[in-house]
Structure 1
Amino acid sequence: MFDYDPTRIGERSAPRSHEIEKGAIRRFAEALGEKNSIYFDEKEARAAGFPGLPAPPTFPFTLPPHPIPGVRLPQAGIIHGEQEFIYGRPICAGDIITVSAWLDNVKVRQGHLGSMTILTIMRDGLHQNGDIAFQSRSIVIVTEEVQRDVEA
């Protein structure tokens, strides 16, 4: 099912907290093919000035928010058009990051394959002390074909 309520643009999801674990950081870094030892060795991380293992830059993508008010995306067929991160204080093992998300903008455009609904979804993550860990902007595209498929 795909649906969005334009009157709820800007309304944040309920906050969702994630405890950042060493194993999750190591597995994510390994999956990226990361070779930098700061992601695997606590001594190396501390020598580099981190309080513990730091998370790789795109790690916040693994920290899901609660559902965004007024937005239901299809389970399959959406296009991930763009992703941008702005970083605050680094995320490290042992941190508790609280994430929320909101629908920031919706555009409907005509393309060569029919109409496309383009959603801008914002997320932010805060450290346990309130410092900003990250803010992200995602562009999600739902094509007319996907909309028809989920309505059938």
Structure 2
Amino acid sequence: MRTRPVSYPVEKGRIAFFCDVVGETNPIHFDEAAARKAGFATIVAPPTFPMVIDLETTNAAKRLGFTPVFDLVRCDLRYLLHGTERYEYSGHLLAGDEITITHEVLGFEDKKGGALELCHLRASLTHAERGEVVAIRRTLVHRLA
């Protein structure tokens, strides 16, 4: 199962706000000159910025009438635990990028005699010219009993 793709514009102001929230002080994330001096074409999003794209596009999917991944796998947030999460980078997210995200359900498994259900997901953040720049793998844990 896969979600429909949702686009996200990576904006300088959004990156700067995120850096303020998480306490990121590296100037390549908010100073164009510093980013260029470090070899980048423009401001670079910090490594944890993909979670912003993931959350904001989930809300955008609902507004667009698409089924978000949590609804696709019938998550009941009252009983959801965060299992694991891993980011795999094959490129950078840059200010001005238009990123498309899709989620794929990799599978389910039962644990603890059916008391827990594990849901394995993969999100792909893709740039039209550079291809996939980030993959997010996560396992959600549903308490069923």
Question: Cα distance, 1:70 vs. partner?
Answer: 3.9
Counterpart check, 1:55 vs 2:45: yes
Q: What is the aligned residue count?
A: 133
- Contact kept, 8 Å, 1:38 with 1:54, in 2: the verdict is yes
Deviating 4+ runs (over 2 angstroms)? none
Q: Report the RMSD for the aligned CA atoms in angstroms.
A: 1.8
Match of 2:7 among 3, 6, 17: 17
CA distance in 2, matches of 1:76, 1:43: 45
Structure 2 residue 123 is the aligned partner of structure 1 residue 123: yes
Greater per-residue helix proportion: 2
Query: Is 1:142 aligned to residue 142 of structure 2?
Result: yes
Question: TM-score when scaled to structure 2?
Answer: 0.84
The aligned runs of 1:13-92 (5 Å cut-off) are 13-64=3-54, 65=58, 66=61, 67-68=68-69, 70-92=72-94
SS class of match (2:91): coil
Tell me, yes or no, if the aligned pair for 1:95 and 1:128 is still in contact at 8 Å.
no
In the TM superposition, residue 27 of structure 1 has moved relative to its aligned partner by 1.3
Map of 2:105 onto structure 1: 103
Q: TM-score, with normalisation over the residues of structure 1?
A: 0.80
Q: Which has more radius of gyration?
A: 1
Contact 2:81 2:140 in 1 (8 A): yes
SS of the residue aligned with 2:35?
helix
Moved more, 65-74 or 38-47: 65-74
Separation (CA, whole Å) in 1 of partners of 2:72 and 2:137? 18
Paired residue secondary structure (1:72) = coil
Secondary structure of residue in 1 paired with 2:46: coil
Displacement of 1:49 after TM fit? 1.2
Contact 1:95 1:127 in 2 (8 A): yes
Distance in 1 (CA, whole Å) between partners of 2:9 and 2:25 is 24
Instruction: Using the TM superposition, give the Cα deviation of residue 99 of structure 1 relative to its aligned residue in structure 2, in angstroms.
Output: 0.2
Unmatched 5+ stretches in structure 2: 62-67
Percent identical pairs in the alignment equals 31
